[in-house]
Amino acid sequence: MGKLALNKSTLNHENQRLKSFRQFVPALDLKRKQILAARMKSRRVLEQLQQDEHQINASVAEQIPMLAQTRLDLNSLIRIQRVEHQLDNLVGIELPRVARVELDRAQYSRLAMPQWVDRAVDLLGQMLELKVLQQVERVRLERLEAALQKTTQRLNLFDKVLIPRTESNIRRIRIALSDAERAGVVRAKIAKGKRARVALQ
């Protein structure tokens, strides 16, 4: 940063800078609050998805205990065929969202398979969908965390660095201009006194 010129032009420039900095701060603070609210909501959604996953695991343990003893490959009976994503825009941050999850269920003979396989495939399908939703929600949360950090840094830059520095510059310039004005008045009085003495001689 160059040396600060202590003149009226620099004072006007610094006043303009201070005004624009102060206009940025409320907008940045509002953006930070919106991101904070979205982050809190995303965390709640992720917690709910994890609770749903635990409930499915509990349902499997309770309703299909024989699954632990079987050698059937249930993963071959159901898989994710397609996931449709959409993007939400929150204060300039692009956040992915799952619009739809399509599952592909393999055809199998109900006579050749144990009767509990249908319920197991249903629960596995729910689990696959939950995993996709969790994965996308984690990406949302990561993007919100990064945006929050960046916005907070910018807010702190304006609030704790740029605005105080500009206010300090304005004070220095005003003091210098005031001192220069006083010195000018003193010089004028001295010059006037000298002229008066010369006129009297």
User: DSSP string of 66-120?
Assistant: GGGT----GGGTEEEEEEEEEEEEETTEEEEEEEEEEEEEPP--TTTS-TTHHHH
Q: Which of 72, 54, 49, 82 is nearest to 120 (CA)?
A: 72
Tokens of 71: 């050698």
Q: pLDDT (tens digit, 9 = 90+) per residue, 43-69?
A: 999 999 999 999 999 988 888 877 777
Mean pLDDT of the chain: 89
Chain centroid, CA 180 distance in Å? 48
Conformation bin of residue 78: beta by default, left when phi > 0, alpha when psi is -120 to 50: beta
Whether residue 108 contacts residue 77, with contact meaning beta carbons closer than 8 Å, is answered with yes
Which pLDDT score, from 0 to 100, does residue 73 have? 74
pTM of the model: 0.78
Q: Mean pLDDT throughout 117-128?
A: 89
Indicate if the pLDDT at residue 180 is higher than 90: no
65 DSSP assignment: G
Q: pLDDT confidence of 144, banded at 50, 70, 90?
A: very high
Q: Give the β-pairing of 93-105 and 78-90.
A: antiparallel
